[in-house]
């Protein structure tokens, strides 16, 4: 019985990476099962005729899949696909040697990438995959080329077939449905990647009733990464994502969102009351995190928001 319960709990995560209308048709788990799951075409299925055997098979396929990454061992992965998503950002797909393998990551965890830049000493940087951690065969990174960012430049300059080393998972925040009633996410730049990882996990779990507000800060309109994906997810899960507030340092004419640096007053208008059941997550450039959440203490604990 415990195994069957686990299979049911994992079902929302065993879904395709591409979110289409079919995945969100209908209600609850029945709608989430539209699409391709574990290699079976389920577009004509409903929850009632999706039996325990099929559910168990999908669950066991994930559980039994080899893990492509290890937290204490560097493993080389090849770049299989490269897509430019903004003037200075790319979505990079790295293939696992075993197409049946999964990353082994959990929600709100990251990987670290090691690259020998310019023939010098290898440099290590953390990245949060934007693909489902239950996806077989590879993982996706969203990488923005930053001035002075040696690893980000190296990754953005990679050609298909080139390799870098990965290690992980590195768990940052243990999250499960019910941990909070309402979450306010404050993201800057590529700080959207861990937020997206959590949003996707929550959206694909019909048992998760958490409400989310997102404040997303960027320099220009072109810098807003994953905007289409975020808006699509909000449209399909309006009961979950209550609001997305974009803030731009350099807004274009006619911009109706936030303008300039995120202020305490502007943020206060988006934050829930400081009471039990409410959570605030902040991720972005160090200066933004310090401005929003204050400097970290000696024990690395974060200051109060605001």
Instruction: Say which residue the tokens 């080139």 belong to.
Output: 162
> Strand 211-218 vs strand 182-188: parallel, antiparallel, or unpaired?
parallel
- Residues with Cβ within 8 Å of residue 142, at least 6 apart in sequence: 85, 89, 90, 91, 92, 130, 190, 192, 193, 225, 226
150 belongs to an annotated ligand binding site: yes
144 belongs to an annotated ligand binding site: yes
For residues 216 and 132, give the distance between their C-alpha atoms in angstroms, rounded to a whole number.
21
C-beta contacts of 15-24 below 8 A and 24+ residues apart: 15/132, 15/134, 15/204, 17/131, 17/132, 17/135, 17/140, 19/229, 19/232, 19/233, 19/236, 21/236, 24/236, 24/237
152 belongs to an annotated ligand binding site: yes
CB 55 within 8 A of CB 38: no
For residues 102 and 69, give the distance between their C-alpha atoms in angstroms, rounded to a whole number.
8
Rg of the chain over Cα atoms, rounded to whole angstroms, equals: 20
Nearest to 283 by CA among 175, 145, 189, 143: 189
For residues 10 and 184, give the distance between their C-alpha atoms in angstroms, rounded to a whole number.
25
Nearest to 136 by CA among 64, 208, 237, 241: 64
DSSP state of 266: H
142 belongs to an annotated ligand binding site: yes
132 belongs to an annotated ligand binding site: no
Answer positive or negative: Cα dihedral of 294, 296, 297, 301.
Answer: positive
First to last CA, the chain: 46
127 belongs to an annotated ligand binding site: yes
DSSP state of 40: E
93 belongs to an annotated ligand binding site: no
Positions at the binding site:
125-127, 142, 144, 150-152, 193
Positions at the binding site for FAD:
125-127, 142, 144, 150-152, 193
């Amino acid at each position: 019985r415990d195994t069957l319960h686990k299979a049911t709990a994992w079902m929302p995560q065993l879904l395709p990476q591409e979110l289409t209308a079919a995945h969100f048709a209908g209600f609850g788990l029945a709608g989430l099962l539209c699409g391709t799951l574990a290699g079976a075409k389920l577009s004509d299925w409903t929850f009632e005729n999706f039996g325990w055997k099929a559910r168990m098979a999908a669950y066991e396929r994930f559980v039994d899949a080899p893990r492509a990454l290890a937290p204490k061992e560097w493993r080389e992965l090849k770049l299989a696909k490269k897509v430019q998503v903004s003037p200075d950002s790319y979505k990079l797909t790295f293939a696992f040697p075993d197409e049946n393998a999964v990353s082994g990551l959990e929600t709100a965890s990251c990987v670290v990438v090691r690259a020998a830049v310019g023939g010098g000493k290898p440099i290590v940087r953390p990245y949060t995959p934007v693909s489902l951690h239950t996806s077989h065969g590879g993982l996706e990174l969203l990488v923005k080329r930053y001035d002075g960012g040696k690893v980000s430049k190296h990754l953005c300059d990679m050609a298909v077939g080139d390799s870098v080393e990965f290690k992980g998972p590195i768990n940052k925040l243990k999250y499960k449905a019910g941990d909070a009633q309402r979450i306010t996410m404050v993201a800057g730049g590529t700080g959207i990647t861990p937020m997206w990882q959590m949003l996707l996990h929550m959206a694909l779990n019909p048992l998760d009733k958490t409400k989310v507000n997102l404040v997303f800060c960027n320099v220009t309109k072109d810098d807003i990464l994953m905007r289409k994906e975020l808006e699509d997810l909000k449209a399909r899960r309006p009961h979950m994502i209550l609001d997305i507030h974009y803030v731009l340092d350099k807004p274009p004419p006619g911009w109706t969102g936030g303008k300039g640096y995120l202020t305490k007053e502007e943020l206060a208008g988006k934050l829930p009351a400081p009471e039990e059941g409410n959570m605030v997550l902040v991720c972005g450039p160090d200066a933004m995190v310090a401005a929003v959440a204050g400097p970290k203490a000696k024990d690395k604990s974060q200051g109060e928001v605001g």
